[in-house]
Structure 1
Amino acid sequence: DEINIALYYKLFPLDRVLSMLDGRHEKTEVVLTGRYAPQELIDKADLVTEMREIKHYYNKGVPAREGIEK
């Protein structure tokens, strides 16, 4: 979860992720999440989804919840 953020902050090397993807079994599906996906992952992906906020309860003062937003 949130591997793209880890890659963005250079907490994990992109080449290791790409290598893992290249070495996976052909029937294995992998879901990578997070903002700032590197173009190399987007290019390799079969499906890319971009989500955007329409409405969020945080804007009404509800704090981030353990296990959901933090």
Structure 2
Amino acid sequence: MANVLFNLQTPKLGGAIVFPQLEMGISLPANALLYWTQLDEYYEYDYRSKQHVCPVIAGTQLTVYTSITARS
């Protein structure tokens, strides 16, 4: 399980992706790609990978987001 976020347009204010359990927020610049996995080293779900997206306060944001799930 993995997530990919590609930011095409950056807003003037807001639109960051935050990971509350890690106390980390990321504001991607335009044409940037963010990739993260939801599994730990034992291939079990890692609760710290839960993410939230902050609202856009000013400007517009254009983002492509997808989740990748491999099943065997």
TM, length-normalised to structure 1 = 0.30
Q: Which has the higher strand share?
A: 2
Q: Which has the higher helix share?
A: 1
Query: Comparing both chains, which one has the higher relative contact order based on Cα–Cα distances under 8 Å and sequence gaps of 6 or more?
Result: 2
TM, length-normalised to structure 2 = 0.30
